[in-house]
């Protein structure tokens, strides 16, 4: 099984394991172009003040199974907050950014900020997976079952999807790609073509993706304690200035970088 990098975009990383269980597993090789990983979260909390988990979503579509239903979650623009109250088990499939389009059959931008039914290619086989989650089967068993459901419905190879995924990996790995102009020069693709590819395969614009990944980097820096010079961090991440960085951070997380840093120290 492929080792997974630590999750990014999780704003409250210190929730006690006794209150919150989180597992992830990479898919088999044949599914890897389409699926980033399977995930599972569970909690059992009856406290008067249950913990709250907040994440800043990635540019990925998810198939989520909970409370006896399977739904598709398109890319969410804002932060996602969940009160971990009561007893709940949730199994999810995080599709590769760009990897859901061949299964959806329409531009992924059509489900941006939406929760919708599964496409027909997946709906028929989902009932057995829903039942397994309801029966609280082990996470490893759920992953194996999900692979059995997905593999028969894999579409034909799509060179454009692989091209988009290469561009996405470059955005993550090369911090110097701070704008769409930078990305256009790097890829040698006309800006309009780049925009069209992202709307079709990813569901959001390349600018959105660049800004989201850079904000994830800022959150990771703050969590690691590597964030003393806010002006330098803002410039490094491609913001015009510190004020622009602080404003964007506050809009998406609900607090300034300093306030967020202080909140982590209180956990």
User: 63 in helix, strand or coil?
Assistant: strand
More confident call, 61 vs 234: 61
pLDDT attached to residue 15: 63
What is the average per-residue pLDDT within 80-84? 81
pLDDT attached to residue 202: 97
- Could you give all domains of the chain from N- to C-terminal order, each with its CATH number? 21-153 (2.60.120), 159-265 (1.10.10.60)
Question: Nearest 5°: phi and psi at 45?
Answer: -140, 125
Flag whether the pTM goes above 0.85: yes
258 pLDDT more than 80: yes
87 pLDDT more than 90: no
Contacts 24+ apart (CB under 8 A), 80-83: 80/54, 80/55, 80/56, 81/52, 81/53, 81/54, 82/52, 82/53, 82/54, 83/50, 83/51, 83/52
Question: Nearest 5°: phi and psi at 241?
Answer: -160, 180
47 pLDDT more than 80: no
pLDDT attached to residue 1: 44
User: 7 in helix, strand or coil?
Assistant: coil
Mean pLDDT, the chain, whole residue set: 90
Candidate ranges 85-94, 104-113, 255-264; pick with highest mean pLDDT:
104-113
pLDDT tens across 115-146, in order? 999 998 888 889 999 999 999 999 999 999 99
Spatial contact of 61 and 119, defined as CB atoms under 8 Å apart: no
CA separation for the pair 252, 213 (Å, rounded): 13
251 token code pair? 């809009």
């Amino acid at each position: 099984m492929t080792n997974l990098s630590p999750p990014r975009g999780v704003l409250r990383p210190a929730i006690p394991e006794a209150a919150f269980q989180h597992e992830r597993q990479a898919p088999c090789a044949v599914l890897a172009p389409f699926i980033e990983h399977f995930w599972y979260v569970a909690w059992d909390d009856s406290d008067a003040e249950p913990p709250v988990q907040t994440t800043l979503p990635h540019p990925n579509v998810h198939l989520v199974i909970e409370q006896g239903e399977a739904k598709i979650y398109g890319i969410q623009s804002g932060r996602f907050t969940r009160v971990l109250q009561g007893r709940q088990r949730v199994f999810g499939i995080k599709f590769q950014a760009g990897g859901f389009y061949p299964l959806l059959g329409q531009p992924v931008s059509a489900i941006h900020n939406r929760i919708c039914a599964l496409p027909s290619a997946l709906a028929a086989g989902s009932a057995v997976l829903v039942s397994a989650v309801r029966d609280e089967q082990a996470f490893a068993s759920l992953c194996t079952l999900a692979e059995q459901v997905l593999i028969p419905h894999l579409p034909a190879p799509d060179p454009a999807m692989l091209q988009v995924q290469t561009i996405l990996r470059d955005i993550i790995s090369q911090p110097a790609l701070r704008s769409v102009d930078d990305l256009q020069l790097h890829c040698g693709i006309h800006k309009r073509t780049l925009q069209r590819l992202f709307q079709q395969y990813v569901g959001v614009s390349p600018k959105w993706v660049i800004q989201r990944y850079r904000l994830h980097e800022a959150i990771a820096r703050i969590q690691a304690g590597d964030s003393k010079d806010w002006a330098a961090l803002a410039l490094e991440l491609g913001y015009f200035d510190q004020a622009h960085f602080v404003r964007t951070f506050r809009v998406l997380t609900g607090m300034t970088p300093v306030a967020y840093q202080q909140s982590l120290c209180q956990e």
